[in-house]
Amino acid sequence: MIPVNADTRLFCVLGNPVSHSKSPLIHNQAFADHQIDAVYLAFAPSDIQKAMDAVRQFDIQGVSVTIPFKQKVISFLDKIDAEASSIGAVNTIVNQNGVLSGYNTDSFAAIAPLKDVQISGKTVLIIGAGGAARAVAFGIHAHKGNLLITNRSQDKGRALAARYNADFYPMEAIRHLRPDIIINTTSLGMTPGENVLSCPEDCLTSETLVMDVVYTPLETRLISAARQKGCHVVDGLTMFIAQAAAQFELWTGILPDTKKMRHTILTHPDFQTQ
């Protein structure tokens, strides 16, 4: 690791909760691999406005944004990328000489693992209506998938559904659906609530493709149930690494080795896969 000094560039992730995040692990390793004098930290602010003031005050060069700030942070940026603007959520901030620009790498990361799947014409159920759901919905819609939205807050869910002319279903009503693809974009099933099943098993058949954005634990209850039904599954680490690699490229101009990023997480002693 490069020693930290007064010239070390600072990067961070802003989220609450954020203690589970593996972003510091993979970004710090990538900085070391490419001999970049930088350090990446995790912060859990209660007030996103004050956090963004700190980003400016301390000249933090790049920021990952996660739950619950992906939509709220937009008000405190100087510029926003066209795709992030269309999505209505930001997960990446680049600080260039004090100008804070917002981007969204989640949409690309959600679609990348599905590149071998013919999304067009497929029925895709998105669980959630937050920042990650917005990014996933944007990507699925762009690839002409037929969207279904479910969410605990019906107002938020209906608003996202209306944005893409999709059908909304209350969560208690989805067990009768048989979508081709199910994508959980919520924190349901994440440690310490790993016993929560984000989608009824009734929705799953052996033909269903199931994707979960949760990666702690790697084998969520949804992923486990899907495997038992013979579904094709995409774990949360796949999307997480894809969006992180795209972030690193925005900050440094370097696309890191995603296979090494995954290996770094899976072999770390603190990572729990059960």
Binding residues: 21-23, 66, 91, 106, 128-132, 213, 215, 236, 243
Q: Please state, in angstroms and as integers, the Cα–Cα distance from residue 45 to each residue in 17, 63, 182, following that order.
A: 9, 13, 31
Which pLDDT does position 121 carry in this prediction? 96
Task: Indicate whether 274 pLDDT > 90.
Answer: no
For range 245-260, the mean pLDDT: 97
Which pLDDT does position 272 carry in this prediction? 52
Q: Could you tell me if residue 63 is inside a domain? A: yes
Residue 43: domain span: 9-104+240-266
Whether residue 92 is found in the same domain as residue 134: no
Write the CATH number for 158.
3.40.50.720
Please pick, among 70, 115, 122, 144, the residue that the annotation labels catalytic.
70
pLDDT tens digits along 52-97: 999 999 999 999 999 899 999 999 999 999 999 999 999 999 999 9
Q: Could you tell me if residue 39 is inside a domain? A: yes
Q: What is the pTM of this model?
A: 0.91
Model confidence at 137, in pLDDT bands (50, 70, 90)? Answer: very high
Cβ atoms of 122 and 140 within 8 Å: the answer is no
In three-state secondary structure terms, 271 is coil
Query: DSSP letter at 3?
Result: P
Whether residue 68 is found in the same domain as residue 185: no
Whether residue 142 is found in the same domain as residue 190: yes
Write the CATH number for 70.
3.40.50.10860
Task: Indicate whether 117 pLDDT > 60.
Answer: yes
Whether residue 88 is found in the same domain as residue 174: no
Q: Could you tell me if residue 229 is inside a domain? A: yes
For range 212-227, the mean pLDDT: 96
Please enumerate in sequence order all residues whose Cβ is within 8 A of that of 96, keeping only pairs 6 or more positions apart, or say none.
none
Residue among 195, 210, 218 nearest 265 (CA): 218
Which pLDDT does position 273 carry in this prediction? 47
pLDDT tens digits along 185-195: 999 999 889 99
Q: How far apart are CA 25 and CA 67, in angstroms?
A: 18
Which pLDDT does position 242 carry in this prediction? 96
For range 168-173, the mean pLDDT: 96
CA atoms within 13 A on the CB side of 189: 29
Percent of the chain with pLDDT over 70: 98
How many domains does the structure of the chain reveal? 2
Whether residue 149 is found in the same domain as residue 180: yes
Task: Indicate whether 268 pLDDT > 60.
Answer: yes
Residue among 139, 159, 144 nearest 243 (CA): 139
Q: Could you tell me if residue 20 is inside a domain? A: yes
Binding residues for NADP(+): 128-132, 213, 236
Tokens read off for 178: 């048989």
Task: Confirm whether 260 is a catalytic residue.
Answer: no
pLDDT tens digits along 3-18: 788 899 999 999 999 9
Q: Could you tell me if residue 74 is inside a domain? A: yes
Q: Please state, in angstroms and as integers, the Cα–Cα distance from residue 88 to each residue in 70, 104, 106, 154, 156, following that order.
A: 8, 9, 12, 18, 13
In three-state secondary structure terms, 83 is helix
